[in-house]
Structure 1
Amino acid sequence: MKNISEKEMDPQPEYIKKGYKGSDLLKDKVALITGGDSGIGKAIAVLFAIEGAQVTICYHSSDNDAKQTLSEINKKGKKGLMIKGDLTDSKHAKEIIQKVISEFGQLDILINNAAVQFPQDELSAISDEQIQKTFATNIFAYMYLCREALPHLKEGASIINTTSVTAYKGHEKLIDYSATKGAIVSFTRSLSANLAHKKIRVNAVAPGPIWTPLIPSTFPEEDADRFGKDVPLNRPGQPSEVAPSYLFLASDQSSYMTGQVLHPNGGEIINT
């Protein structure tokens, strides 16, 4: 897996729609976003800041991308926090929540978004280590963070998990990744049922092909060049086109929705 930062991408991803003006949909809210240094996570972080939220981003290793995202949050007039570490370690999840509560005194929105993928042509090529890393990052970490956050979430809080179109249609080269994304759908539905009596909503977003650093980092150049061309809209989506789904689910605009999945995927029809 190559480690390509957003600055190296061509074309550059779009993180916010030009001229977008907020409406204070998240005024006085505190949001925590994993994988917030780049890609979809960055777009969510910047959009949430414009809409009035204080934002914490968690990331694994891309210091420059994380600093750039934090700078964008600050430019929107909101206080931000960046936390580096390994989300597959349950102790780190506890540390993250402690830091957020210490800094902001509350947590209203939890976005589980960080993920890894390692394309392989055959199931036999997927090692034990790859399976363990993919599941630890893509689903175990979501459960760790939710577990630590729950004592601090009050009525009206929102948890949003990032699943994928691959949870529904699969992917011939992302077998283990797709399996984790299916697990996220089931986790979302089960946790939503468990927390409904507390008036804490749990939903998910299932993006289709979105142009983020994960794509050129994990696919060969020829596959990256064709990326997103097989959907009805005939192009990959931009992070700016996915983030509004998270905003809707995080805000009171979706107060009657829980256990649901939104599908910004370029027009693919998914049987949910």
Structure 2
Amino acid sequence: MHDTPLADPRTKYPVPPFAQQQQTPPGQQPAMDPVPDCGEDSYVGAGRLAGRKAIITGGDSGIGRAVAIAYAREGADVLVSYLDEHQDAEATAGFVRKAGRKCVLVPGDIQSRAHCQAIVQRAVDELGGVDILVNNAAFQMSHKSLQELTEEEFDKTFRTNVYATFFLTQAAAPHMPPGACVINTASINADKPNATLVAYAATKGALQNLTGGLAQLLAEQGIRVNCVAPGPVWTPLIPSTMGAEQAAKFGQNVPLKRPAQPAELAAPYVMLASEQASYISGARVAVTGGVPFI
């Protein structure tokens, strides 16, 4: 047996400044420099989710892809919901299927309640049920002036980040057995809002509060509800919603001086979905590179 050397968390992954880059929303992962690490070559499963059936929104790239890969290698079948990033979604499906698990791809806009209901029905019909719901998809745009933020954008941010979580959870709950779980992707912005992300930060505060309410309400059915609160994570959301200079410096201001790679987020999503987390509900797991939650 060989010891695995410790990795310095400050330098384990690329450190900014990165090359200046900008994309149109929602962004494409292969066009990023550096390309995010979603655990494609590193995540090793241990059967902790054997036989489970999971829905992951925003599962085409970034955190969602990292979670899909990890869940598949832990033994789960996966439905990947995504907007229209077909190339990224097909790549994610390839990793899931290579792990020997089923992957269902469902494109479409989760702002629509009907589409959210259709996602859940596809999981029931094609995976055989829903044991894990990961509400991960999000929309954000960065603005230096409040006057730049339109009513339409404010509404889109809330419908994508908060309404869809409600729609999906409401649709999935009747199909979820005792022991099932919901995991929401919150953010460090819930407690430490970035002034340039007013709408996004507000949705994450709402989502964190929604998690606590749902955990109490769904406990009656034996369903656990938790959230993961990331700090800066290097995903297509960054170069597609921030200016090139801002994206190049992304993550510099946290104690570890770099953004997380999506692969570094997989562990809490696996833990919260596993039997080892049977008494964890209503919790927030912070993954922030050293920024304290107080």
1:227 matched to which residue of 2?
250
**CA distance in 2 between partners of 1:158 and 1:86 (Å):** 23
Counterparts of 2:71 and 2:136, CA distance in 1 = 14
| CA distance in structure 1 between the aligned counterparts of 2:232 and 2:182, rounded to whole angstroms | 23
Counterparts of 1:179-190 in structure 2, within 5 Å, are 179-190=202-213
Q: What is the alpha-carbon root mean square deviation over aligned residues? A: 1.0
- State the Cα distance separating 1:179 from its structure 2 match: 0.2
Please list the CA deviations of residues 146-186 of structure 1 after superposition, one character each: whole Å capped at 9, or x if unmatched: 01001101100010000100001000100010000000001
- Residue 84 of structure 1: aligned partner: 107
Of 110, 120, 126 in structure 2, the residue corresponding to residue 97 of structure 1 is 120
Q: Matches of 2:157 and 2:40 in 1, distance apart? A: 32
- Measured after TM superposition, the shift of residue 94 of structure 1 is 1.2
* TM-score normalised according to structure 2 size: 0.90
User: Deviation per CA, 1:94-143, whole angstroms, max 9, x where unpaired?
Assistant: 11111111112111000000001011112222110011100010100000
Cα distance in 2, alignment partners of residues 233 and 251 from structure 1:
28
- Asked if 1:238 corresponds to 2:261, the answer is yes
Please name the residue that 1:251 is paired with: 274
Equivalent residues in 2 for 1:20-169, closer than 5 Å: 20-169=43-192
Does the Cα contact within 8 Å between 2:38 and 2:262 map onto a contact in 1?
yes
Most deviating of 2-11 and 170-179: 2-11
- Shift in Å, 1:21: 2.2
Q: What is the one-letter code of the residue matched to 2:215?
A: S
Taking structure 1 as reference, are residues 75 and 17 closer, same or farther at Cα in structure 2, changes over 3 Å only?
A: closer
Greater relative CO (CA pairs within 8 A, separation 6+): 2
Q: Please give the alpha-carbon distance, in whole angstroms, between the structure 1 residues aligned to 2:244 and 2:276.
A: 40
What is the one-letter code of the residue matched to 1:110?
Answer: L
Conserved 8 A contact 2:131-2:176: yes
CA-CA distance at 1:22 after TM superposition:
1.1
Q: Distance in 1 between matches of 2:221 and 2:281?
A: 12
| 1:221–1:204 CA distance, 2 compared to 1 (3 A) | same
Unaligned runs of 5+ in 2: 1-22
Count, aligned residues: 271
Shift >3 Å, 4+ stretches: 17-20
Unaligned segments of structure 1, at least 5 residues: none
**Cα offset for 1:197?**
2.3
Distance, in Å, in 1 between the alignment partners of 2:221 and 2:203 is 27
SS of 1:206's partner is: strand
Question: TM-score, normalized by length of structure 1?
Answer: 0.98
Q: In structure 1, what is the Cα distance between the partners aligned to 2:251 and 2:41? A: 22
Identity of aligned residues (%): 43
